[in-house]
Amino acid sequence: MNEYLNIFFVILRRDLTLAFRNKSEFINPLMFFVIIIILFPLAFGSDSALLKQLTSGIIWISALLATCLSLEAIFRSDFEDGSIEQLTLARYPLTLLVSAKVTAHWLTFGLPLIIVALLTGLVLSVPSQTMLALLITLLLGTPVLSLIGAITVALTIGLRGGMLLSLLILPLYMPVLIFSMLAVQNATVGQSIAAEIYFLSGILVLAITLAPITTAAALRIRLS
Amino acid sequence: MSLTDFLSMGGYAKYIWPVYGICAVVLFLNIALPIFRERKVIRELQKRLQSEESKT
Amino acid sequence: MSLYKKCHRWFHQFASPKYFYDISHIISKYAIVVCIICFIAGLYGGLILAPADYQQGDSFRIMYVHVPAAWMALFVYVVMAVAGGIGLIWHIKLAEIVARNSAPIGASFTFLALVSGAIWGKPMWGAYWVWDARLTSFLILFFLYLGYIALQSAFEDRRVAARAGAILALVGIVNIPIIHYSVEWWSTLHQGSIISQIDKPTVHMSMLIPLIFMVLAFKTFYVTSLLIRVRTEILEYESNTSWVKQLLRDYKNVTN
């Protein structure tokens, strides 16, 4: 067991080091996230009541789109230099290695994204109870995005065109978006958000249990 | 009931008949296209088989 | 011989391409006959015999396309995922072929359910598209189908494509209930007053019996369309085996 934990942290540290060394890959999705958020005030006028209502939704949709762009980074460099094949041949379960890589993706993309979302929320003066709900849903939701995303990336990596990935992944993301936005809306009008939080946690637990296994199976198929 | 009554569908003709029309087209395509493809594949495989057999 | 062994043998025999190719001709012959009879009975009953609904007038007759198409859209996705899973676990080629060739048919059924639902919505709600829970989740289902087809066509190697598609279909099947309930919840919170009548028509026996015929017709239609596609692909896969070569010679003799 200890050995497995060790391996997990070795892979995690390796991926984090790689991500921080290649700063553009790490920062570009976040820039994209902020730029999409900026587009909305430009389109609807900076001051409108409509925009105030939409802010948390805009943040969530931007997060989804930015995730689509960042996902490929999970396996791309390993796929290009062939180290992914080494990983599948290792004597450790591929599921474990995949979980480490997904964790690394969330730490380098999901976590900074939540911080940036918090800052944008503050700048755009989102009310505090809405902000709290937004943060909780992002905290529960972004790991799901990384986990489900890893499956589709494993299926599509190396195929021509990045459009396919977005086409496959966005329908699968819709429940997360729906529950998160329901929670945010409930919080805005001062209602309880427990039900939505339970659902999001349930989806997260399901994703943590099944997604790494599925991702490992998908990688094996792609590399066979 | 007369034929015009039937065709007018109690005033809902312009909703009902397009639905049945689209349904007919979609179902027809789902049979016709596979049949065409089956014939094409058989023809191609026959051609390939013939050229193989004429060589030997 | 024990029952288990019998089933086991039958299963393997059934999954062998040659046996399936032969038996599929017999199955599809019966399926076509049942399909045509059910279509005639269903259409006659649905369009002529059934009385107009006291609330919806004659517009409820769209149900005879909409409901079977919607049922089959979900049914075909389940078939696709289960067959894909069987192909994935036991490496049965036939299951892979069934899974892949179900996708375009299922997408057509979803398309039909969406279009008929939207056209039905016009007299019911006054607009072609409302964000009704059922319509919305079928739209998402449609995109799941399109994604599966797109993934299939992105691979050169068909076996890799089939297995990758199986994973996607299995992920989709876990997601479909979640999508369904999330969308249902979302739509009841957003519009409350609009209750979908599409799925709850006041059903009288004279309306229900044609519906059952139409469901049977759609089901046998799926079988027919699927078997033609599967046969074609078996021929392509097995084109180097002696039985296919013999078959091609026989076909030639018939056509000449």
Q: What pLDDT sits at residue C255?
A: 59
What pLDDT, on a 0 to 100 scale, did the predictor assign at position A105? 93
What is the model's pLDDT at position C253?
67
Mean pLDDT of C78-86: 95
Residue contact B19–C108, C-beta within 8 A: no
Kindly state the average pLDDT of the residues A126-150: 93
Q: Which of A98, A178, A198, A222 to mutate to test the interface with C (most CBs of C within 10 A)?
A: A178
Which element (helix H / strand E) includes C216?
helix C205-237
The answer to whether residue A194 neighbours chain C at the CB level (below 8 Å) is no
Interface test with B, best of C49, C61, C105, C234 (most B CBs within 10 A): C61
Residues A162-219 have pLDDT tens digits of 688 889 999 999 999 999 999 998 898 888 889 899 999 999 999 999 999 999 999 9
pLDDT at residue C190 in the model: 56
Give yes or no for residue A147 having a pLDDT over 90. yes
Alpha helices in A22-127 (DSSP H): 23-44, 49-71, 76-81, 83-89, 94-105, 111-123
* Cα distance between residue A34 and residue A27, in whole Å: 11
Residue corresponding to tokens 């391409």:
C17
How much is the pLDDT for C194?
42
Residue C230: which of C36, C62, C97 has the closest Cα? C97
The pLDDT of A139-146, averaged and rounded, is 95
Task: Check if the beta carbon of residue A98 is closer than 8 Å to that of residue A123.
Answer: no
Residues 6+ apart with CB under 8 A from A41: A51
User: Could you give the number of structural domains in chain A?
Assistant: 1
**Residues of C within an 8 Å Cβ radius of A:** 88, 140, 143-144, 146-147, 150-151, 154-155, 160, 163-164, 167-168, 170-172, 174-175, 178-179, 182-183, 185-186, 189
Say yes or no to pLDDT of B1 above 70: no
Task: Please report the pLDDT score of residue C193 as a whole number.
Answer: 40
Q: What average pLDDT does range A117-130 have in this prediction?
A: 87
Q: Which two tokens stand for residue A136?
A: 């909780």
Interval C59-64 mean pLDDT: 85
User: In terms of pTM, does the model score above 0.95?
Assistant: no
Best to test chain B binding among C24, C116, C158, C222 (most B CBs inside 10 Å): C116
ipTM for the complex shown: 0.90
Range of the domain at A35: 2-223
Distance from C-alpha of A182 to C-alpha of A60, rounded to nearest angstrom: 12
| CB-CB contact of A148 with A67 (8 Å) | no
Give CA angle at C3 (C1, C9), nearest 5°.
75
- Could you give the domains of chain C? 27-231 (1.20.120)
Using alpha carbons, select from A157, A2, A145, A144 the residue that is nearest to residue A83: A157
The tens digit of pLDDT for each residue in A56-86 reads 889 999 999 999 888 888 888 888 888 888 8
C120 interface with B at CB cutoff 8 Å: yes
- Choose the closest CB to C164 out of A206, A210, A221: A221
C223-240 mean pLDDT: 91
Q: Looking up tokens 């939409």, which residue turns up? A: A54
Q: Answer whether A65's CB lies under 8 Å from A178's CB.
A: no
Structure token digits, residue C255:
């056509």
